[in-house]
Chains A and B, each alone.
Chain A
Amino acid sequence: MALGWYLAVSVLIFCIGSGGVLVRRNPLVILLCLELMLNAGNLALVTFARMHGGEAGQIFALIVMVVAACEVTVGLGLIVAISRRNLPIDVDELHELNG
């Protein structure tokens, strides 16, 4: 397949993921949508690696995976802490950091 198709898929998944971040209210699901966006980025990176014949893109994708894992860890830790204080698991309700 022409590599442009892969990039198109990547774009689609990225935009679906961003739409999900904007629409969903459960922070867990928002994190999932973030994962979608990260994966879309990974796909684009690997595509470009294939395009130019070097493995730099794949290395980058692996690092992105590491970062995603860390981010999920910390984010889920936050959500656990929130739920332990019996606060509603709803990003619209948790808006105290406003000005």
Chain B
Amino acid sequence: MSAALFFIAAIIAIIGAIGVVTLRNPLYAVLALVCHLVALAALFLLLRAEFVAAAQVVVYAGAVMVLYVFVVAYVGGGDEIKAGNSLRILGPMFAVALAIELFIAMLGTGLSGIKGHGARYKLGFGDPEHIGKLFLTDYLFAFEVASLLLLVAAIGAIVLARRRRGLEDDDVDFKTIRATPRPAYTGTIAEAVGVRRVLEQLEQAHGGASELVGAPRDSEAEDES
């Protein structure tokens, strides 16, 4: 029974993988991957990793792939021609070579346990309760680091993909932004010195001084900093 399930899930997984690799339309490739992920979840279940299977479906196939769908829809992509250089032939060849090597490694090294069905396990192996307990005791550090990693990735994604104001048009003139006088005693030393010197020259030329330097442009200057 489990053997039949295994074979069905395995074949679906492999077909999904091949689909990802060969389908032209990226949206179809995403869908093929979703299919593959669900099949993999089934395999996880067969291996008694219930929580992992659930996480696979909910997180991976559910969230990550949805994100993918959004991005594919936004970016587009469409049809593409296949690789036009030597890697078109060499690529699959490398992959095949790697596969052969790994098969030899796996089957030929006499890994104990390959022939077997697994060790005896306690009740509740793979339960969320067990996983949770392990996360918060033995693997606490990994847990915390993983959450930190998520935070960093989220900030990174925002920074990468935000729309920078003003950088889209070419009309914005950097010189005018730089030359805008800043409020007194703000900005870098060089800017302060440069602006002050210009203003001193202006004062000498026109006579009379003004205490507050560059008052009307305050809001825009603060926006830049």
A interface list, Cβ under 8 A from B: 1-9, 11-20, 22-26, 28-29, 31-33, 35-36, 39, 42-43, 46-47, 49-53, 55-56, 58-59, 61-63, 65-74, 76-81, 83-84, 89-90, 92
B113 adjacent to A32 (CB under 8 Å): no
Cα-based distance from A20 to B20 in the complex (angstroms) = 8
Given contacts A46-B49, A76-B67, contact A13 B13 (CB under 8 A): yes
Cα-based distance from A39 to B153 in the complex (angstroms) = 20
Question: Which of B21, B47, B72, B81 meets A28, CB within 8 Å?
Answer: B72
A89 adjacent to B156 (CB under 8 Å): no
Cα-based distance from A21 to B84 in the complex (angstroms) = 14
B95 adjacent to A19 (CB under 8 Å): yes
A11 adjacent to B102 (CB under 8 Å): yes
Cα-based distance from A74 to B151 in the complex (angstroms) = 11
Which residue in chain B gives the minimum CB-CB distance to A44?
A: B106
Question: Which of A6, A25, A59, A74 meets B156, CB within 8 Å?
Answer: A74
Q: How many A-B residue pairs have CB under 8 A?
A: 245
B: number of interface residues (CB 8 Å):
90
Question: Which of A39, A73, A90 meets B36, CB within 8 Å?
Answer: A39
Cβ contacts under 8 Å, B36 to chain A? 13, 36, 39
Which of B117-125, B172-180, B196-204, B216-224 is the interface stretch? B117-125
A25 adjacent to B157 (CB under 8 Å): no
Closest 6 CB pairs of A and B: A22-B91, A19-B95, A70-B153, A53-B119, A20-B21, A4-B114
A8 adjacent to B55 (CB under 8 Å): no
B21 adjacent to A73 (CB under 8 Å): no
A2 adjacent to B74 (CB under 8 Å): no
Cα-based distance from A1 to B6 in the complex (angstroms) = 8
Does chain A have a CB within 8 A of B190? Answer: no
Shortest CB distance A20–B (Å): 4
A29 adjacent to B26 (CB under 8 Å): yes
**Contact sample, A vs B, 21 pairs, CB 8 Å cutoff:** A2-B114, A6-B47, A8-B103, A9-B13, A12-B17, A23-B91, A23-B92, A25-B83, A28-B26, A28-B72, A29-B26, A32-B68, A36-B21, A55-B125, A59-B139, A69-B150, A73-B156, A80-B74, A80-B75, A83-B75, A92-B85
B116 adjacent to A9 (CB under 8 Å): no
Q: Which of B72-118 contact A (CB under 8 A)?
A: 72, 74-77, 80-85, 87-88, 90-92, 94-96, 98-99, 102-103, 106-107, 111, 113-118
Does chain A have a CB within 8 A of B210? Answer: no
Cβ contacts under 8 Å, A8 to chain B? 103, 106
Cβ contacts under 8 Å, A25 to chain B? 80-83
Q: Which of B141-158 contact A (CB under 8 A)?
A: 142, 146, 149-150, 152-154, 156-158
Q: A14-B98, A53-B119 are in contact. List 7 more A-B contacts (CB 8 A).
A: A2-B116, A3-B113, A3-B116, A11-B102, A39-B36, A50-B48, A74-B153
B74 adjacent to A12 (CB under 8 Å): no
Cα-based distance from A96 to B180 in the complex (angstroms) = 35
A24 adjacent to B83 (CB under 8 Å): yes
